[in-house]
């Protein structure tokens, strides 16, 4: 591909909030009809190689030998394991927030073989993505389908500060981590409750890493949620600043403020210091070898909750780091978390290989 032409992954929030590919030529761009992609395609001769991330099937490596040529499948990440009638496709939604429109993807419960009771609305799991200045899309995600195929709605929130909706939206998190993200996750849930799509008495929030911080901050600053799940999440910002790896050691300067000048702000935003406002069960999942968010983050929170006789569950996984990789770990986390929500919300999930253990409940 000539250097005067560049293929880039662009996101236009005014349309549907998903990534598409555009060919940029001398400052002008033309959208390419190749569907949603992961990051920017790579030039190959006169064409492109890219990872397609459709909403209905696992990712796949694709190749176009020329822009006027059909796309060729090189390799799919995995076979489709769900019938198409069971796949819930994320609907791009906007909802009101304190800073203007917020953005998320709403996944309605869906299963070809089962229907929910006519006289009850489904529970909702709010997803707070990691980063925290990254983004989520509505690409096919088996973990989301795990919830929706079992009668639980999901809203995947691109809170203020997320990439993909313009510079002003991205800058909303500057100095406001633990405030804007928390408010937007709560606002997304309230929006779906107001639309009559989910049960306002059965709202849960979950997230990993930075999303785990947002989860814990939401649970310790609001009574909107009835349960939460933190996966290798941050509970103490000062502990994170002192323990995390060198690459992200100054990341918090922009999200919270520089140290030591803003030390009081770190304490104010840390969920560990607001347990008096926590009034619901929380489950923690942690990798024993995590160097980014070490286990002491989860263990400090679990110990403090236990001392206050608050309902809490904690699972530590040997051989796992920051972000779980083993298939058995991923499966076990999903089953334990589903059973956890069942215990809190009053349903019994069939077919689980293990039942969750919750202290003080």
pLDDT in tens, 76-122: 988 888 999 999 999 999 999 999 999 999 999 999 999 888 889 99
Q: Could you confirm whether 322 is annotated as catalytic? A: yes
Hey, which of 9-13, 115-119, 145-149, 258-262 has the most confident mean pLDDT?
145-149
pLDDT of 149 over the 90 cut: yes
pLDDT of 18 over the 90 cut: no
In angstroms, rounded to a whole number, what is the distance separating the alpha carbons of residues 170 and 360?
40
Which of 209, 221, 230, 270 does the annotation list as catalytic?
Answer: 209
In angstroms, rounded to a whole number, what is the distance separating the alpha carbons of residues 62 and 184?
35
In angstroms, rounded to a whole number, what is the distance separating the alpha carbons of residues 206 and 231?
8
Greater pLDDT, 31 or 247: 31
Which of 88, 270, 322, 339 does the annotation list as catalytic?
Answer: 322
Which of 184, 236, 290, 339 does the annotation list as catalytic?
Answer: 290
In angstroms, rounded to a whole number, what is the distance separating the alpha carbons of residues 143 and 129?
13
Using pLDDT thresholds of 50, 70 and 90, give the confidence band for residue 30: confident
pLDDT in tens, 301-318: 999 999 999 999 999 999
Does residue 260 have a cis peptide bond before it, meaning omega lies within 30 degrees of 0? yes
In angstroms, rounded to a whole number, what is the distance separating the alpha carbons of residues 48 and 1?
9
- The pLDDT of residue 1 is 47
Pairing of strands 91-97, 282-287: unpaired
Close Cβ partners of 291 (under 8 Å, ≥ 6 residues apart): 244, 245, 321, 322
pLDDT in tens, 316-344: 999 999 999 999 999 999 999 999 999 99
Q: Could you confirm whether 223 is annotated as catalytic? A: no
* Range 244-268 average pLDDT: 81
In angstroms, rounded to a whole number, what is the distance separating the alpha carbons of residues 196 and 173?
30
Q: Please give the model's pTM, rounded to 2 decimal places.
A: 0.92
Q: Could you confirm whether 209 is annotated as catalytic? A: yes
């Amino acid at each position: 591909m000539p250097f005067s032409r560049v293929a880039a992954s662009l996101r236009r929030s005014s349309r549907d909030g998903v990534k598409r590919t555009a060919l940029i030529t001398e400052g002008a761009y033309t959208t390419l009809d190749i569907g949603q992609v992961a990051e920017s395609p790579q030039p190959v001769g006169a064409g492109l190689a890219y990872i397609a991330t459709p909403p209905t099937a696992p990712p796949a490596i694709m190749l176009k030998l020329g822009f006027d040529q059909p796309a060729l499948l090189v390799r799919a990440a995995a076979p489709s394991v769900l019938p198409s009638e069971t796949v819930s496709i994320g609907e791009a939604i906007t909802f009101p927030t304190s800073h203007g429109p917020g953005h998320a993807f709403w996944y309605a419960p869906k299963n070809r073989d089962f229907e929910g009771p006519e006289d009850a609305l489904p529970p909702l799991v709010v997803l707070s993505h990691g980063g925290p200045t990254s983004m989520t899309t509505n690409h096919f995600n088996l973990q989301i389908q795990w919830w929706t195929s079992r009668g639980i709605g999901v809203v995947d929130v691109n809170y203020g500060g997320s990439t993909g909706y313009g510079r002003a939206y991205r800058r909303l998190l500057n100095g406001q981590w633990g405030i804007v993200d928390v408010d937007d996750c709560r606002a997304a849930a309230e929006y779906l409750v107001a639309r009559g799509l989910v049960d306002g008495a059965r709202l849960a929030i979950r997230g990993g890493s930075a999303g785990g911080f947002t989860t814990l901050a939401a649970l310790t600053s609001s009574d909107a949620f009835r349960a939460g799940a933190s996966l290798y999440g941050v509970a103490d910002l000062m502990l994170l600043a002192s323990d995390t790896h060198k690459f992200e050691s100054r990341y918090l300067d922009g999200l919270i403020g520089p140290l030591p000048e803003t030390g009081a702000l770190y304490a104010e935003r840390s969920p560990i210091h607001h347990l008096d406002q926590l009034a619901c069960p929380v489950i923690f999942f942690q990798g024993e070898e995590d160097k980014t968010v070490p286990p002491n983050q989860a263990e400090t929170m679990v110990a403090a909750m236990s001392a206050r006789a608050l309902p809490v569950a904690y699972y530590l996984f040997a051989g796992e780091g920051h972000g779980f990789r083993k298939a058995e770990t991923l499966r076990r986390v999903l089953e334990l978390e589903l059973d956890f929500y069942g215990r809190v919300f009053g349903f019994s999930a069939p077919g689980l290989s293990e039942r969750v253990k919750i202290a003080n409940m």
